Chain A
Amino acid sequence: MQESTDKAREAQFRQLLEENLGRLRRIARSYAAPDEREDLLQDMLMQLWRSLPGFDGRASLSTWVYRIALNTALGTLRRRYARPHERSMPHEQLLPLTPHSVGDPTDTDAILDHFLALLAPLDRAVLMLSLDNLPYADIARITGLSGNAVGIRLNRMKQRFEQDYVENPA
């Protein structure tokens, strides 16, 4: 009985990984220093494994995955930066960019990393969800903000992006 439950959970987890591994890696990359990304990814995966029996299908799988991954990422970030002695690098160097990628205006991946690193953790989450084409209602459900607040935040972030990277690029 226990064995068949385990097998079912493993099959479910495999499917979850196939559909969401790229998403999870991207979240880990947005919230952890390069040498801590794999640890954060592992934490998120373990939390997902533990929570899988509680997934009731009321929300879509990706919404559920986002909630757990973001809660884990912010929890790790909060604990890490609340204990400076455990911090391996300062917050400003969370997503360090090489001089090459900073200077290359066509490297959109580096620009994305750079812009995400400038945002507060919650705004970062809102922007990531929006970049993943989630509707405002889903973003609101994941973050707990109102739909209106999500819209205002996104508009301000878009304005900031255009101001910093389009009109006055460094």
Chain B
Amino acid sequence: MNIDTLKNAWQASMAVTPDATGIDRMTREVRDATRQGERQARWRTLSGSAAFGLAVIMLVVLELLPQVWLGMRLALMLWALSLVACIVRLWRVRAMHRLRPDMPLTAHLQACLERLRREVAYHQSLRWWFWVPFGAGFAMAIAQRLPATPDISWLAPVAVAAFWFWGFNEGPRVWPRRLQPELERLQKLLDRASTPAS
């Protein structure tokens, strides 16, 4: 037995001649499944954009209400800016590395690795682009509105402060932690690509 035996086995297992009906059925299934996937992707983009637009409009409307006090106005402005900055940066990360599916294998793996690294960096940067503006805005909004002596009205701000503390510490770590195994797996595949099989 030698490598030619494997070659023969490979060629024999590949020599499947599908009939015309089977080919037609598969073509229809693939076409329909792809169209459904594209519809879902369009719907996701549309609903995401609508939610983003609605959130910005809501923040602007609140900002313009006459009853809103100065601290709240500043907070709303900060939150709107933070929201826009986070979403725009996310779009840029996604758009920067649209992978061509017909790239050479190692280049494709390299591009996947780079994209994952950028995603991890994006999630880590949320500490400064989301959590800090959220906390600062919240502090501005409630400053001078809380009674000087602690009472029941302190409960809500304390809960928000605890949430902020958790978010600032843990939030930017959750996604990187989830992406880490995929990152390691990719790195391993690429390391193996650079060292010939042993």
Q: Are A79 and B9 in contact (CB under 8 A)?
A: no
Q: Are A166 and B101 in contact (CB under 8 A)?
A: no
Q: State the CA gap A22–B22 with chains docked (Å).
A: 13
Partner of B192, one of A70, A83, A120: A120
Q: Is B159 an interface residue (CB 8 A)?
A: no
Q: Is A35 an interface residue (CB 8 A)?
A: no
Q: State the CA gap A142–B193 with chains docked (Å).
A: 13
Residues of A within 8 A of B (CB): 6, 10, 13-14, 17-18, 21-23, 25-26, 29, 42, 45-47, 49-51, 54-55, 64, 67-68, 70-72, 74-75, 78-79, 81-84, 105, 108-109, 111-112, 115, 119-123, 125-126, 128, 131-133, 141-145, 149, 152-153, 156-158, 160-162, 165-166
Q: Please give, as numbers and ranges, the residues of chain A lying within 8 Å of B182 by CB-CB distance.
A: 78-79, 82-83
Q: Are A83 and B181 in contact (CB under 8 A)?
A: yes
Q: Report whether over half of chain B's contact residues are helix, strand or loop; otherwise say mixed.
A: helix
Q: Are A145 and B106 in contact (CB under 8 A)?
A: yes
Q: Are B185 and A67 in contact (CB under 8 A)?
A: no
Q: Please give, as numbers and ranges, the residues of chain B lying within 8 Å of A13 by CB-CB distance.
A: 27, 30-31
Q: Are A161 and B23 in contact (CB under 8 A)?
A: no
Q: State the CA gap A120–B193 with chains docked (Å).
A: 9
Q: Are A131 and B105 in contact (CB under 8 A)?
A: no
7 contacts between A and B (CB under 8 A): A47-B101, A78-B185, A78-B186, A82-B181, A105-B1, A143-B105, A162-B2
Q: Are B192 and A17 in contact (CB under 8 A)?
A: no
Q: Are B105 and A122 in contact (CB under 8 A)?
A: yes
Q: State the CA gap A48–B48 with chains docked (Å).
A: 27
User: Top 4 closest A-B pairs, CB basis?
Assistant: A144-B104, A82-B182, A144-B106, A131-B10
Q: Is B149 an interface residue (CB 8 A)?
A: no
Q: Please give, as numbers and ranges, the residues of chain B lying within 8 Å of A51 by CB-CB distance.
A: 101-102
Q: Are B31 and A156 in contact (CB under 8 A)?
A: no
Q: Please give, as numbers and ranges, the residues of chain B lying within 8 Å of A112 by CB-CB distance.
A: 6, 9-10, 13
Q: Are B105 and A74 in contact (CB under 8 A)?
A: yes
Other contacts beyond A49-B31, A82-B181, A166-B2: 11, CB < 8 A: A26-B10, A42-B29, A51-B102, A74-B189, A78-B112, A84-B181, A108-B9, A120-B197, A126-B197, A132-B10, A161-B3
Q: Are B197 and A128 in contact (CB under 8 A)?
A: no
Q: Are A156 and B30 in contact (CB under 8 A)?
A: no
* Closest chain B CB from A65 CB (angstroms): 9
Q: Please give, as numbers and ranges, the residues of chain B lying within 8 Å of A152 by CB-CB distance.
A: 196
Q: Please give, as numbers and ranges, the residues of chain B lying within 8 Å of A26 by CB-CB distance.
A: 10, 13-14
Q: Is B92 an interface residue (CB 8 A)?
A: no
Q: Are B6 and A74 in contact (CB under 8 A)?
A: no
Q: Are B23 and A71 in contact (CB under 8 A)?
A: no
Q: Is B109 an interface residue (CB 8 A)?
A: yes
Contact flag A111-B106 (CB < 8 Å), given A18-B23, A42-B33, A46-B34? no
- Nearest A-chain residue to B5, judged by Cβ: A108
Q: Please give, as numbers and ranges, the residues of chain B lying within 8 Å of A50 by CB-CB distance.
A: 34, 101
Q: State the CA gap A92–B104 with chains docked (Å).
A: 27
Q: State the CA gap A82–B184 with chains docked (Å).
A: 8
